[in-house]
A and B are shown apart, each in its own frame.
Chain A
Amino acid sequence: MRIDPIEYTPWNGERTGLILRVFVIIKKIFKQNIKSKGVLVLLILGIILAHLFPIMSTVFIPRERLSADIVNTYMKDGFFALFSILLAAVVTSSLISSDYQDNSFVLYFSRPIKPAVYMFSKLFGAALVMALFCFLPPIIYCITVMGTQTGPDYWSGLKVTGMTVAAGLLTVIYFSSMGLMLSSLTKRKAYAGVGTFIAFLAPMTLSEFFVNFNVKWRLLNPIVILHYSFDLIYGFRLPDYIEFHEYLLSFLAYLFIPMAVTYYILQRRAVGK
């Protein structure tokens, strides 16, 4: 006797808005990355090397108060930059490239998702993972310093914590946007990952070489640009040899050119031509 086939059933629910759909993409990226062994290893190693030691030392040697220069120095740590680059390379490598690889790209764009929405959903998904390293630990550091401080000035500590929130968010987006662009350029996850690493490393190397001839070559170094941004956020001045507009140009180039390129590529792919 044949079993009756399962019939098609209509669905009569209410459709959700755009925000919830974006959230679904972000959640997927976050879950996928947090299950990845590579990401977990980098996160754990990076947190130990870049964050755990400064936090522990604060516990054992309390400061008088949380000042901008303490956190600014902490944010400019070499391990922090290195692991941010490595993590960005791993987290963002499959963001868009895997959708090219399995051609699931077409399923997103046959649904009511515009290229800009797709791009920012992917960016925020990666940023959320990056935040576990670039955003959350600096805030924990600030709280630890304030929690163990010997002096009474908590108000300035809160202000510095606020600045750290801004610096952390900037770091997260700064590293993610470059990775996003590289991921939109290729179908291969490995190429995107290596490309992201090189996209930071190559200008850094060039800058370090040519800075001997002209100090303005520092503006080519993406990490130095990020450090200048920290200086400005924490209320310090740029070095005398750098004009503000020169810094701004470099900063905008590193932050927005990757996004613009990604958007352009997605737009071309989303509407076919």
Chain B
Amino acid sequence: MSEPPRIRAEEILVRYGKIIALDSFTASIPHGIVGILGPNGAGKTTFIKVLLGLVKPERGKFTINGRGAFDIRDIVGYMPESECLIESMNAFEMVSYMGCLSGMPVEDAIQRGHEVLDFVGIGEERYREIDSYSTGMKQRVKLAQAIVHDPEVLMLDEPTNGMDPEGREEMLELISRIGKFGKTILVSSHLLHEVEQVCEYMIIIDQGKLLKEGDMEKLLSPEAGRYRVKVRGETEAIKRFYKIIRERYKPVQVVNERGQGTIVLKGVDNSEHILRTAREVGVQIRYYRPDILSLEDVFLETFAGGNAHEN
């Protein structure tokens, strides 16, 4: 992260009645495509709404490109998770109208409206009223209205919601292509593979707290001493193997299937010990390699709080 962070949030506290939506939330979000991950109700949408000034925090402050909430609205594009399109208009009218509201002269908004609708893949359907659109088309129009004024910062709340697999891929492709133009794009999602596919940086939220953040490349890079071991044998023998191994290494993931077990270990400095233990307890090692992390592993480990999660 060579550039200074584009978005800084410090000690943000948001409460809805007794429910704490953001609990002293602090994060520094860099330039690029940034994934905000977390289960439903984690506080992802609330965080975006705070940044937009749509929810007023009880405490804390934040800046976007060094500016406060209202000052940044011209340079921010927002694609909400929920339905938000003006159904009495057609897509073209709505997108150009939103462009005008974001400060574009009418002629520019008209031209740009056509451009962004072409970009998101809405063809002649742009002249149809929005209430006749499929969910996928509505998502595309929502993206179009968010980018019509060429914002520096784009906030996309569950952008692939309700889309079919092909539509999802296309939406992610669009996000990647916008990201190449030097934008900061916040993508809130609970779908890990989507975030893994397009994001360069990731923050994980749960119960209104920041659990983890970092460059995707670093988070997913193989860690020294982290090994994935798959063993086969009697259930009792596998249990014994796990028990002995746990005494020396820290397991981060344990999966048991019938007659086969997978254990991911951290801090492995001596393979000989593992191989010898397997021989002694009578299990067969079928796989033993440095572990390549997926976002799912990072996510599950973060939620397990450093303890092994067992399936």
Interface presence of A156 (CB below 8 A): no
Which B residues from 58 to 84 make CB contacts under 8 A with A?
70, 73-74, 76, 78, 80, 82-84
Interface presence of B104 (CB below 8 A): yes
Q: Known contacts A32-B88, A112-B73: does B103 contact A102 (CB below 8 Å)?
A: no
Chain B residues with Cβ below 8 Å from A10 are 150, 181
Q: How far is the CA of A103 from the CA of B180 in the complex (A)?
A: 31
Residue of chain B at shortest CB distance from A16: B103
Q: How far is the CB of A86 from chain B (nearest CB, A)?
A: 22
Q: How far is the CA of A181 from the CA of B55 in the complex (A)?
A: 23
Q: Known contacts A15-B104, A24-B97, A32-B88: does B74 contact A112 (CB below 8 Å)?
A: yes
Contact call A103/B104, Cβ cutoff below 8 A: no
Contact among A9, A17, A21, A114 for B101, CB-based, below 8 A = A21
Q: How far is the CB of B62 from chain A (nearest CB, A)?
A: 14
Contact among A102, A105, A107 for B78, CB-based, below 8 A = A107
Chain B residues with Cβ below 8 Å from A25 are 101
Q: How far is the CA of A273 from the CA of B50 in the complex (A)?
A: 11
Interface presence of A111 (CB below 8 A): yes
Q: How far is the CA of A106 from the CA of B146 in the complex (A)?
A: 12
Contact call A106/B101, Cβ cutoff below 8 A: no
Chain B residues with Cβ below 8 Å from A111 are 73-74, 98, 101-102
Q: How far is the CA of A13 from the CA of B105 in the complex (A)?
A: 8
User: Which one of B30-38, B111-119, B194-202, B295-303 contacts A?
Assistant: B111-119
Interface presence of B139 (CB below 8 A): no
Interface presence of B85 (CB below 8 A): yes
Chain A residues with Cβ below 8 Å from B86 are 98-99, 102, 104
Q: How far is the CA of A25 from the CA of B150 in the complex (A)?
A: 21
Contact call A271/B55, Cβ cutoff below 8 A: yes
Chain A residues with Cβ below 8 Å from B98 are 107, 111
Which size bracket describes the interface of A in this complex?
A: 35 or more
Interface presence of A108 (CB below 8 A): yes
Contact call A112/B103, Cβ cutoff below 8 A: yes
Q: How far is the CA of A271 from the CA of B86 in the complex (A)?
A: 20
Q: How far is the CB of B103 from chain A (nearest CB, A)?
A: 3
Interface presence of A8 (CB below 8 A): yes
Interface presence of A1 (CB below 8 A): no
The total of chain B residues at the interface (CB under 8 A) is 42
Interface presence of A7 (CB below 8 A): yes
Contact call A13/B181, Cβ cutoff below 8 A: no
Contact among A8, A11, A12, A14 for B178, CB-based, below 8 A = A8
Contact call A272/B103, Cβ cutoff below 8 A: no
Interface presence of A42 (CB below 8 A): no
Interface presence of A270 (CB below 8 A): yes
Contact among B76, B85, B180 for A110, CB-based, below 8 A = B76
Which B residues from 97 to 130 make CB contacts under 8 A with A?
97-98, 100-106, 108, 112, 115, 118-119
Q: How far is the CA of A106 from the CA of B83 in the complex (A)?
A: 10
Contact among B84, B112, B181 for A104, CB-based, below 8 A = B84
Q: How far is the CA of A17 from the CA of B150 in the complex (A)?
A: 17
Interface presence of A158 (CB below 8 A): no
Chain A residues with Cβ below 8 Å from B145 are 107
Chain A residues with Cβ below 8 Å from B16 are 273
Chain A residues with Cβ below 8 Å from B83 are 102-103
Chain B residues with Cβ below 8 Å from A98 are 86, 88
Q: How far is the CA of A228 from the CA of B83 in the complex (A)?
A: 46
Contact call B97/A271, Cβ cutoff below 8 A: no
User: Ordered nearest first, which 9 A-B pairs have the shortest CB separation?
Assistant: A15-B103, A272-B55, A11-B150, A112-B73, A110-B78, A24-B100, A6-B118, A103-B84, A271-B56
| Contact surface of B with A, Cβ cutoff 8 Å | 16, 49, 52-56, 70, 73-74, 76, 78, 80, 82-88, 97-98, 100-106, 108, 112, 115, 118-119, 145, 147, 149-150, 177-178, 180-181
| Contact surface of A with B, Cβ cutoff 8 Å | 5-17, 20-21, 24-25, 28, 32, 98-99, 102-114, 270-273
A-B contact pairs, 13 of them (CB 8 A): A6-B118, A6-B119, A28-B97, A106-B54, A106-B80, A107-B145, A110-B54, A111-B102, A112-B102, A114-B70, A270-B54, A271-B54, A271-B56
